[in-house]
Amino acid sequence: MRLWTLDPRYLDAKGLVAAWREALLAQAVLEGRTVGYARHPQLERFRRAPDPAASLGRFLEALAGEAGARGYTFDASKIHGLDRPDPAPLPVTLGQVAYELELLRSKLNARDPELATGLPASVPVALNPVFVSTPGPVESWERVRPDVAR
């Protein structure tokens, strides 16, 4: 499960669809509708939110918006929590953002090298609107891959 901190505009089609599916799974986990992935570390930041459903709903909303801008149809009726007040942005460290940027670069180098060249060279970069960057290293919940530059 990869719930990208980065703005969805940076994702290729495969990454955008995967993020949508995985975020819907995360929504089901947080609502107690499935037991799979219940301990997945990517969910920690949403669990710490004052209103996890609203935060994940806004995360999904950004993915659906990017999909719509590309002419894809993601079923926004599957998003829960949008009837709640806008949540405060979730903090994410600049180290985490930098790690995710390099992780995405490595994935795009394999799948879509031309798109990879369009990624920003370094942080700061645009984030999914549900996040706000703060100083710090890679987040403690991240499972760092040794093959990704940091």
Rounded Cα gap, residues 138 and 93, in angstroms: 7
- How much is the pLDDT for 95? 96
Rounded Cα gap, residues 86 and 107, in angstroms: 32
- How much is the pLDDT for 38? 80
Among residues 29, 48, 45, the alpha carbon closest in space to that of 128 is found at 45
pTM score of the predicted model: 0.93
- How much is the pLDDT for 40? 86
Could you tell me the mean pLDDT of each successive run of 10 residues in the chain, 150 residues long?
A: 93 96 94 84 91 95 97 96 91 96 96 93 94 96 84
- How much is the pLDDT for 92? 96
Structure tokens at 45: 């930041």
The SS3 assignment for 103 reads helix
Among residues 67, 70, 57, 49, the alpha carbon closest in space to that of 28 is found at 57
- How much is the pLDDT for 150? 63
Among residues 86, 78, 62, the alpha carbon closest in space to that of 3 is found at 62
- How much is the pLDDT for 89? 95
Provide the greatest CA pair distance for the chain: 41
Structure tokens at 12: 């290729």
- How much is the pLDDT for 79? 97
